[in-house]
Amino acid sequence: MKKKYLFIFLLAFAACASWNILTDTSKPAKPAAAASWTEKVSGWIPSAGTAKQKLYPYLHFREAINEKIKAMPMYVSISVIPRPMQQAVIATEDRRFYEHGAIDPIGIMRAMMVNFNSGETLEGGSTISQQVVKNVFLSHERTLTRKIQELVLSILLERNYTKDEILEIYLNSAYFGANATGIEDACRIYYGIPCDKLTLAQSSMLAGLLQAPTYYNPLENYTAARRRQQVVLALMAEQNYITQRDATRAYHEDLHLQK
C-alpha cells in the first residue's frame, strides 16, 4: 500500500513540476534592490512567477508553510480554540478527518449521496488537508493541473504535520466572510470577542460559514446563516459531539452579533 501511494505521489509530483516549468513565462527576477516581500522573508525565494518559486513548496514544504504562518497577523494555537469550534468544523467539513489520509474516498462518495438526496450542497468532498493547501498555496480554479498540485501538497501536509496541527492551520487560514480570514479575525468581526470565548452557538454559526462565506455571512444574510447553523448543530448531534438538547438550546441562544 505504501509503495502504491509513493508511486502516485512521485507521478503526480513529476507531472506537476513538468507542467509548471514548461508553462513558465515569467520575466527575469528583479534586482536585489527591488526584492519582493517574500524574498526578504525567505532569504532566497525568487520573485513571483519563476519556476523555482513554483517548486519551492514541493521541495521545502515545512519551510514554505512556516513562512505562510508567520505572515498571518492573527494566528492562534489550537490549544486556545474551544473544542466545540473544532468539533463543529470537523462534523461539517470532514467528519473522518482523524481517520483518513490526504484524501477521503469514502467521504467523497458520502457527500455526493447526501447532496444528491437533499437537492442542495450540504457536505463537501474535500478533506481539511486539501482545503489547507488550497487556502495557503493554490487558487480555487477547477483544473486538472490544480487538482494534481492539491493532491501532492496534501500528501506532503499529512506527512509533515499532525492532525491537530493541520486543523490549526486550517482554522487560521480559512475565509469566514466579511473580510475575516482566520478564526481570531472572524470572532472579533462577528462577535467582538477573542476566539477562546466562543460558545457552542457562536461556533456552529462560524463553522457554517466555511461552505459559502459570502452567502452565509450573518451580517448580510441572517436567515440563510441561521438555516446553515441549524444544519451544523444537527451534524454535531448526529456524530455525538453534542446531544439533541444541546443543539436545540444552542440554536435559540443569542449570538451577540456585532451590528
Per-residue confidence band for 115, with pLDDT thresholds at 50, 70 and 90? low
Residue range 151-169: mean pLDDT, rounded: 96
**Is 49 within a domain?**
no
Q: What is the CA radius of gyration of the chain?
A: 20
Question: Is pTM, for the whole model, over 0.85?
Answer: no
**Is 27 within a domain?**
no
Question: How many structural domains comprise the chain?
Answer: 1
SS3 181: strand
**Is 135 within a domain?**
yes
pLDDT in tens, 36-72: 333 333 333 344 456 677 888 889 999 999 999 999 9
Buried b (16+ CB within 10 A) or exposed e, 222-243: eeebeebbbbbbbbbbeeebbe
CATH of the domain at 220: 1.10.3810.10
Range of the domain at 202: 78-251
**Is 84 within a domain?**
yes
**Is 89 within a domain?**
yes
pLDDT in tens, 230-241: 999 999 999 999
pLDDT at site 31: 34
Pairwise CA distance, residues 28 & 89, whole Å: 43
